Structure 1
Amino acid sequence: MPLRARVATSVSRTAAALSRAAGRGDGSVIGGWIGLKIEPELLRHLAVGRRIALVSGTNGKTTTTRLSAAAVAVAGRVATNSYGANMPTGHTSALAKAGTTPYAVLEVDEHYLPQVIGATDAEVVALLNLSRDQLDRAKEVAMMAQLWRQCLAAHPAVRVIANADDPMVVWAAHAATAVTWFSAGQRWTDDSWVCPACGAHIAREEADSGGLPPAGPGDWRCTGCDLRRPTPQWSVEDDGIVGPDGRWHKVALQLPGRVNLGNAATALALADAFDVRPERAVPKLAEVTSIAGRYAVVERDGRRIRLLLAKNPASWLEAFDMATPAPTLLSINARDPDGLDTSWLFDVDFAPLRGRELLITGDRAYDLAVRLTVNDVPFRHVPTFAEAVTGVPAGPLEVIANYTAFQDIRAELDRVL
């Protein structure tokens, strides 16, 4: 690297290390921020000589990135932003900290994907899903799909790993030259009823198919143009994953929920793009446990507390699927990282929580209280997380929280995660 880039890399590592030593965070942002101030092209310099994969989407980026990094590590050392700092500052910090590695797997915020592809000359890009997120500042879903589509058309050398179950992702990925399709499912469909190509209705059920052949389980098609679900090369079947050669691979994850089997399918497809065979990668997936505190289980005062992160309607739906029927605490904030608009709560059906002991807390607990009342879901408000812990019997306690509420609870648990 040029001298300025070498200096910037050294300063970036030092700043990140000092941040960690001072207890001010993991250093995954400040290191990259300072490095880029010294050398604005630092990310480009750090990317040279590595085979790089990017993972982007509204939900599941951090988990899929962690699983993918574990799978690719079979082939060699991997640099990754494992704490979820998914903008160029985080990417820069991660690559600077890792030193020389043959591979990098980086989580990328949806908005920054074009910028990061351009800066890193990424070889592989995995596109997970697109749904509404942070209503006060995120792009409308079809606009994001258009951004991705234009980006992929401008980078024909990129190999794309794309979710065949999401019409928005499929439309965007069709602009790519080489696409591998995986099936991860799409439980949340409220943001993809209208075709992004022609504006006609997306048919998902026989009665809704507009005279076309009925859509089968998981199938979809546009009623106005030829956009339809591609045939996936990688798919979830029972408790395993089927690859392009038709072979079924049992996947024993330590992570809960069927959604994580879909994330594992993405990781295997991504690793395969780097010539890592699934039979070698699958055992590595089983070694992944907590991801930046997500899914972590902590014993405290006789309670077995499990943390689940949920930030938008799609991820709350998946969190309900993962949660056991134990006492459950919901915590909602609306600080800047969360998005300031909480009206999305009315897009979430909280009915699956009926019949369990339910507690709520957080800065915007009253907003949540109104939504639960409308949804006819009984609850009890507790002012603090500590009161929630002491307010339930000994045993399991499920905690579902959005970004800053999740971090507040992690801090209160003394960062033992």
Structure 2
Amino acid sequence: MSRTAAALSRAAGRGDGSVIGGWIGLKIDPDLLAHLASGRAIALVSGTNGKTTTTRLTAAAVGVLGRVATNSFGANMPTGHTSALAKAGSTPYAVLEVDEHYLAQVLEATEPRVVALLNLSRDQLDRAKEVAMMAQLWRAALVRHPSIRVIANADDPMVVWAATPPATRSPQVAPAPVIWFSAGQRWHDDSWVCPECGSPIERMADQWWCTGCWLRRPEPQWVVEDDGVVDPAGDWHKVVLQLPGRVNLGNAATALAVAAEFGVRPTDAVSRLGGVASVAGRYAQVAKDGRTVRLLLAKNPASWLEAFDMAEEAPTLLSINARDPDGLDTSWLFDVDFAPLRGRQVLITGDRAYDLAVRLDVNGVPFQHVRTFTEAITSVPPGRLEVIANYTAFQDIRAELDRVN
């Protein structure tokens, strides 16, 4: 029945069917996700940003071993996980993106072999939990599952604290050692205060430490270096990606680290990573009327900072909505520094374009307001057009591109 509902959803144009089937299935059997997960070696990927891309890269890397079930469209709550596993049928492996708020619940249901923790930062202020609270929830969940291998970002103090076993844990329960990767952290504004003791966190070069307690950056076993990744044995592997930006090298390092826990050698996995060109429409490049349009998704201050790093020096369209999937509060725009856009042609659109206009004006970035994507196309010269948009604005532009092509 759940597969039928998903197919009907797709046929009716109401979605890709990655949620409705799981919703119906869980209504019939609340333990369906646990049943579907049983017998599979599973990896979970969670964090504020980069989940979908890292999951896609990890599924490609683990795919060296055989068929992998995954929620490739980003449906990252239990309904989406249930749909993905049901649709995949019998597979020995699964790599699942997990919304950070649901990580504890999904850990309980799936009993994964590995969980990868990417980052924690502010997100959707009107409904998302405060960052330190999210770290506390992660830490409490991991304490209840000491045998799960944790792969965590050494550069994010909140993640390090969440992944480090508390000193109060019973010595009879020996946790699996944490594997640390270094993916960098450009956004620091949510990790200036230590979650353990409340003291300031200091930074110098690639190191960070709390000024009042034990918390500090651990030594990573997987490190991004130049245009490749160094593994725990000290071997360097060149990584050639179709995906832009240094942040995706960090995502690739995470994928290699997770795949290694399944027994995949980095030398066998790296070529698989280069086959990933688009992730649920993100990074897709479309030719239209002499313009090459690239779509980048950005949903919170940290991801906008990374999007500016990925975007080339070219005309850039920014689009902001504030519908339910986006979060209704746009005040986060004032946490984003739009200065990197100075000197290029900037266009704005979307339901909340005027909120964006105020922010750009404060930041001294000239802009032009356009009402449609077609108007944006005609407003820029032939060549590249970078598009940066939040959730529903991104989907609106994808739909408009589909209509005009």
Q: TM-score range by the shorter chain?
A: over 0.9
Corresponding position of 2:178: 179
Structure 1 residues 18-417: aligned runs within 5 Å: 18-175=8-165, 177-205=176-204, 217-414=205-402
Give yes or no for contact 1:124–1:159 (8 Å, CA) kept in 2. Answer: yes
Distance in 2 between the 1:134 and 1:19 partners? 27
User: Does the C-alpha gap of structure 1 residues 104 and 416 become closer, same or farther in structure 2, counting only changes over 3 Å?
Assistant: farther
In structure 2, the residue corresponding to 1:387 is in which secondary structure?
Answer: helix
Secondary structure of the residue that 1:244 maps to in structure 2?
Answer: coil
Distance in 2, matches of 1:338 and 1:24, equals 18
Deviation at 1:300, TM superposition (A): 1.1
Distance in 1 (CA, whole Å) between partners of 2:230 and 2:356 is 40
1:5 corresponds to which residue?
none
Native 8 Å contact 1:158 1:178 kept in 2: no
For 1:295 and 1:132, locate their aligned partners in 2 and report how far apart those are by CA, in whole Å: 23
AA of the residue aligned to 2:195: P
Aligned residues, how many?
396
Describe the superposition over 1:80-111 as per-residue Cα deviations: whole angstroms up to 9, x where unpaired.
00000000000000000000000000000000
Q: Which amino acid aligns with 1:94?
A: A
CA–CA separation in structure 2 for the residues paired with 1:44 and 1:277: 29
The percent of aligned pairs where both chains have the same amino acid is 80
- Displaced runs of 4 or more, over 4 A: none
**Secondary structure in 2 aligned to 1:235?**
strand
Distance 2:261 2:227 in 1: 23
**Given the two structures, how large is their TM-score scaled by the length of structure 2?**
0.96
**Amino acid aligned to 2:100:** E
Q: Shift of residue 23 of structure 1?
A: 2.5
TM-superposed CA distance for 1:385, in Å, is 1.4
Q: CA deviation at 1:12?
A: 1.3
Give the counterpart letter for 1:382 in structure 2.
V
SS of 1:197's equivalent in the other structure is coil
Cα separation, partners in 2 of 1:108 and 1:415, compared to 1, 3 Å? farther
Note the alpha carbon deviations across 1:141-183, whole angstroms, 9 max, x for none. 0000000000000111110000000000000000253210000
Whole-angstrom distance in 1 between the partners of 2:284 and 2:37: 32
What SS does the corresponding residue of 2:207 show, helix, strand or coil? coil
Question: What amino acid sits opposite 2:92 in the alignment?
Answer: P
The residue matched to 1:178 in structure 2 has which SS? coil
For 1:398 and 1:52, the matched residues in 2 are separated by 36
Q: Which residue type is aligned with residue 39 of structure 1?
A: D
Which residue in the other structure is 2:169 paired with?
Answer: none
Report the CA distance shift for 1:291/1:223 in structure 2 as closer, same or farther (over 3 A): same
1:46 counterpart letter in structure 2:
L
Give, in whole Å, the separation in 2 of the partners of 1:155 and 1:415.
Answer: 48
Pairwise CA distance, 1:416: 9.8
Q: Report the TM-score, using the length of structure 1 for normalisation.
A: 0.94
